[in-house]
Amino acid sequence: MIAVLKPETTKEQQNHLISWLKSHNIDVHVSKGENYTVLGLIGDTSSIDIGLLESLEMVDSVKRVSEPYKQVNRKFHPEDTVVHIGNGLKIGGGNFIMIAGPCSVESREQVTEIAKSVSASGADVLRGGAFKPRTSPYDFQGLKADGIELLLEAKKETGMPIISEIMNVNDLPLFRDVDIFQIGARNMQNFDLLKEVGKTDKPVLIKRGLANTLKELLMSAEYVMSEGNHNVILCERGIRTFETATRNTLDLSAVPMLHEMTHLPVVIDPSHATGISRLVEPMALAAAAAGADGIMVEVHNDPIHALCDGAQSLTPGQFSGMAAKIRKIREVVRQ
Ligand code: PEP
Ligand code: MN
């Protein structure tokens, strides 16, 4: 349920109403807009008399939120959420970021060289997998703790915030200085993992599962938010369809649809969505044009010899050309 308060409501009246709601075991999420304040009521609201709430002088309107996702819902929080990543970097609410880097961290030279080049071309965040969720147990599983160390070295050298995938709650201490937790597509519904990252205040980027609906993606974000962490970023990375020409099918309509359903920022990953490096640029440009809040792409300095996902990795030169075009598209989108 949400209650929209009239602009002239005083802080005292608002607090009085919140304490009354809390005495009915309702948790209240306050979203302050330019004119109106929206109270999101979480919990069993069946004991609340809508008519009584509506009749209060300070209340403009009351609506039941029928969707199962509450805190993630745009109705609860009409304004875009801006997630602060660190060093003044923001995503959402008109702030666009580019995340780039290798699929997996392979060596110190590899990750620092890529980090320096993508940073020079305008990437905001360095990506790199240390723990890799591979389909085959015989494939490269990542450098694990050593991979995180190498990412931290690249962060120190370039000043770029870093994002890396966490697969197991036991690895949380290793991620202390990682700026964004990445929840991979295969872990989108690892509810224990979602709850644990929800207990931190670090930004969490959740990738949509290979066969999950947008509603399910939002429910995963709700898990994180319900534990108190509101710094959630959503990522569409392609879904599995009957099409086999591309690795996955990029659901680009997820961008405007999610923007209607939720206030959280939406990132597109055209690398995993297509699996083909020459398709990455056109899809990244389309994502920027569709109003995405960011893109995440794989970049490798030697794609042919990459230990993972070389076929979908851009070279640093290709990334640089694409980044320049994205900046132009962003100018048009902002108008
Ligand atoms: C990745 O980004 O490294 C990755 C494994 O992606 P996804 O979880 O989308 O497959
Ligand atoms: Mn990859």
User: How far is the C-alpha of 176 from the C-alpha of 267, rounded, in Å?
Assistant: 23
User: How far is the C-alpha of 76 from the C-alpha of 252, rounded, in Å?
Assistant: 25
Report helix, strand or coil for 95.
strand
**Nearest alpha carbon to residue 313 among 302, 322, 321, 326:** 302
| C-alpha angle 58-63-69 in degrees, rounded to nearest 5 | 125
Question: 175 near 149, Cβ under 8 Å?
Answer: no
Q: Which residue's CA is the closest to the ligand 1 atom numbered 4?
A: 184
Burial of 334 (0-12, 13-18, 19+ CB in 10 A): exposed
237 CB under 6 A from ligand 1?
A: yes
Of 111, 165, 271, the residue with max ligand 1 atoms within 8 A of its CB, to mutate for a pocket test, comes to 165
Distance 66 CA to ligand 2 centre (A): 37
- The confidence score (pLDDT) of residue 35 equals 81
Q: What pTM was computed for the model?
A: 0.96
Report helix, strand or coil for 167.
coil
What CATH number belongs to 83-334? Answer: 3.20.20.70
- The confidence score (pLDDT) of residue 23 equals 92
165 CB under 6 A from ligand 1?
A: yes
Of 99, 103, 104, 106, the residue with max ligand 1 atoms within 8 A of its CB, to mutate for a pocket test, comes to 103
Distance 272 CA to ligand 1 centre (A): 7
- The confidence score (pLDDT) of residue 302 equals 98
Distance 185 CA to ligand 1 centre (A): 6
- The confidence score (pLDDT) of residue 8 equals 92
| C-alpha angle 173-174-175 in degrees, rounded to nearest 5 | 90
User: How far is the C-alpha of 256 from the C-alpha of 273, rounded, in Å?
Assistant: 17
CA 186 → CA 132, 161, 165, distances in Å? 11, 24, 11
Architecture of domain 2-63: 2-Layer Sandwich (3.30)
Q: Which atom of ligand 1 is found nearest the CA of 187? A: 8
Domain ranges of the chain: 2-63, 83-334
Element housing 235 (H / E)? strand 232-236
Q: pLDDT tens for the chain, 335 residues: list them.
A: 999 999 999 999 999 999 999 999 999 999 988 888 999 999 888 888 899 999 999 999 999 998 999 999 999 999 999 999 988 999 999 999 999 999 999 999 999 999 999 999 999 999 999 999 999 999 999 999 999 999 999 999 999 999 999 999 999 999 999 999 999 999 999 999 999 999 999 999 999 999 999 999 999 999 999 999 999 999 999 999 999 999 999 999 999 999 999 999 999 999 999 999 999 999 999 999 999 999 999 999 999 999 999 999 999 999 999 999 999 999 999 88
